[in-house]
Structure 1
Amino acid sequence: MVQHVVQLTLKEYERYNNVQRESFVKIDALKLENKRLQEVIKEQEEKIIDLERHLAQHEVKVPFLIQQAAEESDIGHPFPEKSPASTTDPTSNENETLMLPEEILDTHIFVKGEHSQMEE
């Protein structure tokens, strides 16, 4: 009977050791993962600092470039005023008219195979 109790105790001790060993392995794996993630965080922080430096170097140029681009295009005026020069091309032999947004709304559309006029 004593031998049986000793065998049970040894089995419990071995099971405890196995669980403890597995726990240590898991802890070591988590420590390695934590270290890897800390390195990734450090690399990302360095990239952010580099980007901030780069942005600071070009900070004065950005507003100027935006202003220059706005002057070179019609960014400030997305819908130019309607004028005879903007609706027809005087150099065109075909006298083709450009469609402005309100004219597009008056065009014909197809609905389920039927031809219909859009109503306002």
Structure 2
Amino acid sequence: TSAPATPLPVIPQPSLTPTPPVTPTRTPTSTPTPTDSPTATSTPTPTATPTPTVTPRPLPPSAPTATPIPAHPPTPTPRPTATSTPTPEPTATPTPGVTPVPPTPTRTPGPPPER
């Protein structure tokens, strides 16, 4: 057997205070300013006078033409003469008990052998 449903207690809602109607604030109508002086007619901007094209004056024929001074020619750097200095071969320090190997003689290119 089910128990009879208990009615929920009704929570009294606070009565909403009606918002008073907002009275629109009347903006005072601006008094039209009396036109004392007639509106000044804008003076037309004067059109800019075109600048006359300056024609370059031809030089009088008597004026000598400036001869450009030639730039000094670069002094040639003397190339060092390739002197074949024979590189001295290190002298083999004789190790005791070992026969020193004589250094290989550097072949100097000489005149071709006569046939």
- TM-score (normalizing by structure 1): 0.24
- TM-score (normalizing by structure 2): 0.25
Larger helix proportion, structure 1 or 2? 1
Larger strand proportion, structure 1 or 2? 1
Q: Which has the higher contact order (CA 8 A, sep 6+)?
A: 2
